């Protein structure tokens, strides 16, 4: 086994338990908009963060280069409220919980305080996967090394001429997602990754919410293009839907070995560089890297650089002993927790999900290229055949998810209601066309 795989295995497997308790971690990202349709006033949002410290008993965890609070944390729940890349998007990263209701209760309290405060300046948080006024905002990063480095790295795409990368390297400042992560075990993490890879077409249909006005893309989910056709996607194994299902642990880590390393820390400074696949990294004699102030420097690869490795796959094995599901756009506010409930129900009912996917008629018709299927079923207009099939598999998956939530007996089924209702309406509309 190669040294790079050894290092990756150590990083990603060391915290996985044999029989973990099932906890849920939810992250929600939102655009903050000026309700008059103008540029978002970032001073309003910086002021909001200061206000939250006093009104919600949050403590300041991080400040930007100018001393503005950019990450707040509740010492009891460990919930964090932070800027996500830019000053125009806010992220709620909740401490781990046993039920979705716990998050909903706290989220309601935060939102009430935030929306009330923002309304004073005619601003509001909205439930969209793209900032509605992305083209008016500055889209510059928060003045903090990690975000500046990320934006500088994405900007390298302007120099990559021989590929089909999009022309919006600043996209990190205006796309928003809804992530959920859950505990997995040594014996089921691959099963979970494989099963959820297969349902990305249905997720595209159920959760699409990031149409983009700035380009002629035939998709309701621009986040896929933003990720895959950016610096993050130069190696396809680094982002998005897995290209294949994994036979075993070795197969999975071979795939991860093809993902990219693009940053390294030296003397407490972060440097970035053109991406190098993990498998080639240690054998690279030296790397031309860039500092945040634009200086170029030669660095030698070190094993410790694997300690900050991360991939951007949609079924992402984290270093916390969880799998994070990363493919869902931020949802409308009235269905904030539908995605978390959907994933949770399916995870709990994994045996049933696997058995269903093995024989699902959907794949007999449309094949099993899961990356392609997700793109296909996020299109703005589907054929009648496609629509019928995707509604069918989505209904089946919702039933399996609902059954999983019933098994938990925590009254979380109600969160699936908006999805069931939408499928019912879409079925009827289709029938009457």
Task: pLDDT tens for the chain, 433 residues: list them.
Answer: 799 999 999 999 999 999 999 999 999 999 999 999 999 999 999 999 999 999 998 999 999 999 999 999 999 999 999 999 999 999 999 999 999 999 999 999 999 999 999 999 999 999 999 999 999 999 999 999 999 999 999 999 998 877 789 999 999 999 999 999 999 999 999 999 999 999 999 999 999 999 999 999 999 999 999 999 999 999 999 999 999 999 999 999 999 999 999 999 998 889 999 999 999 999 999 999 999 888 899 999 999 999 999 989 999 999 999 999 999 999 999 999 999 999 999 999 999 999 999 999 999 999 999 999 999 999 999 999 999 999 999 999 999 999 999 999 999 999 999 999 999 999 888 656 5
Same domain assignment for residues 272 and 416: no
- The CA–CA distances, whole Å, from 346 to 199, 318, 353, 422 equal 10, 19, 7, 19
Residue 181, in any domain of the structure? yes
Same domain assignment for residues 269 and 401: no
Distance CA 61, CA 77 (A): 14
Same domain assignment for residues 235 and 321: yes
Same domain assignment for residues 238 and 267: no
Of 124, 127, 105, whose CA–CA distance to 115 is shortest? 124
Distance CA 94, CA 243 (A): 30
Same domain assignment for residues 209 and 337: yes
Range of 380's domain?
A: 20-242+316-432
What six digits make up the tokens of 144? 């903090």
Residue 119, in any domain of the structure? yes
Same domain assignment for residues 293 and 218: no
The residues that bridge with 91 in the sheet, in sequence order, are 29, 82
Same domain assignment for residues 84 and 182: yes
Same domain assignment for residues 206 and 295: no
Between strands 80-83 and 296-299, the pairing is unpaired
User: CB–CB of 7/306 below 8 Å?
Assistant: yes
Residue 229, in any domain of the structure? yes
For 433, the 3-state DSSP assignment is: coil
Same domain assignment for residues 296 and 320: no
Same domain assignment for residues 104 and 214: yes
pTM beyond 0.95, yes or no: yes
Residue 14, in any domain of the structure? no
The last residue of a domain, from among 308, 338, 366:
308
Same domain assignment for residues 292 and 147: no
Helix extents (H) in 331-416: 338-348, 350-359, 361-366, 370-376, 384-408
Q: What does the DSSP 8-state code read for residue 426?
A: H
Distance CA 22, CA 108 (A): 23
Residue 71, in any domain of the structure? yes
Neighbours of 1 (CB within 10 A): 9
pLDDT value, residue 71: 98
Residue 253, in any domain of the structure? no
Helix extents (H) in 128-179: 145-155
Task: Report the run of H or E that residue 260 belongs to, with start and end.
Answer: strand 260-266
Cα distance from N-terminal residue to C-terminal residue, the chain: 58
Residue 4 burial (CB < 10 Å; 0-12/13-18/19+)?
buried
CATH for 345: 3.30.590.20
pLDDT value, residue 294: 82
User: DSSP secondary structure string, 177-228?
Assistant: BEEEEEE-BTTTHHHHHHHHHTTHHHHHHHH--B--TTS----SBHHHHHHH
pLDDT value, residue 433: 56
* CA dihedral angle for residue 165, residue 169, residue 175, residue 181, rounded to 10 degrees: 80
User: CB–CB of 93/111 below 8 Å?
Assistant: no
Between strands 260-266 and 239-240, the pairing is unpaired
Residue 352, in any domain of the structure? yes
- The CA–CA distances, whole Å, from 376 to 86, 172, 193, 329, 379 equal 31, 24, 21, 17, 6
Same domain assignment for residues 287 and 423: no
Q: Please state the domain count of the chain.
A: 2
Residue 12, in any domain of the structure? no
Query: Residue written as tokens 């971690």?
Result: 25
What six digits make up the tokens of 44? 């309003």
């Amino acid at each position: 086994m190669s040294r790079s795989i050894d290092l990756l295995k150590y990083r990603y497997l060391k915290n996985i338990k044999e029989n973990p308790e099932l906890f849920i971690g939810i992250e929600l990202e939102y655009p903050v908009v000026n309700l008059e349709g103008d540029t978002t006033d970032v001073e309003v949002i910086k002021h909001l963060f200061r206000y939250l410290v006093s009104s919600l008993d949050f403590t300041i965890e991080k400040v930007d280069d100018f001393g503005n609070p950019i990450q707040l944390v509740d010492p009891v729940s460990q919930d964090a409220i932070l800027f996500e890349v830019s000053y125009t998007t806010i992220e709620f990263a909740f401490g781990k919980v046993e039920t979705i209701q716990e998050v909903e209760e706290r989220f309601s309290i935060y939102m009430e305080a935030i929306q009330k405060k923002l309304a004073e300046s005619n601003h509001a948080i909205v439930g969209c996967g793209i900032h509605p006024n992305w083209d008016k905002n500055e889209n510059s990063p928060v003045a903090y090394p990690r975000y500046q480095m990320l934006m500088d790295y994405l900007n390298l795409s302007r120099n990559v001429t021989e590929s089909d990368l999009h022309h919006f390297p600043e996209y990190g400042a205006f796309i928003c997602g809804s992530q959920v992560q859950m505990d997995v075990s040594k014996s089921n993490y691959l099963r979970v990754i494989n099963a959820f890879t297969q349902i990305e077409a249905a997720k595209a249909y159920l959760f699409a919410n990031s149409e983009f006005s700035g380009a002629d893309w035939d998709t309701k989910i621009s986040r896929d293009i933003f990720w895959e056709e950016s610096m993050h996607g130069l190696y396809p194994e680094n982002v998005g839907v897995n290209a294949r299902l994994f036979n075993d642990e070795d197969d999975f880590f071979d795939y991860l070995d093809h993902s990219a390393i693009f940053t390294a820390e030296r003397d407490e400074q972060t440097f970035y560089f053109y991406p190098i696949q993990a498998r080639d990294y240690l054998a690279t004699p030296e790397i031309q890297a860039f500092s945040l102030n634009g200086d170029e420097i030669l660095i030698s690869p070190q094993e410790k650089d694997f300690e900050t490795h991360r991939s951007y796959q949609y079924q992402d094995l984290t270093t916390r002993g969880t799998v994070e599901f990363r493919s869902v756009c931020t949802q409308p506010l009235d269905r904030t927790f539908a995605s978390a409930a959907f994933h949770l129900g399916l995870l709990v009912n994994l045996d049933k999900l696997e058995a269903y996917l093995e024989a699902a008629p959907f794949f007999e018709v449309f094949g099993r290229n899961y990356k392609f299927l997700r793109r296909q079923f996020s299109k703005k207009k589907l054929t009648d055949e496609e629509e019928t099939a995707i509604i069918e598999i989505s209904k089946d998956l919702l039933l399996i998810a609902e059954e999983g939530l019933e098994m938990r007996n925590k009254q979380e089924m109600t969160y699936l209601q908006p999805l069931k209702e939408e499928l019912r309406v879409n079925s009827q509309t289709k029938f009457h066309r």
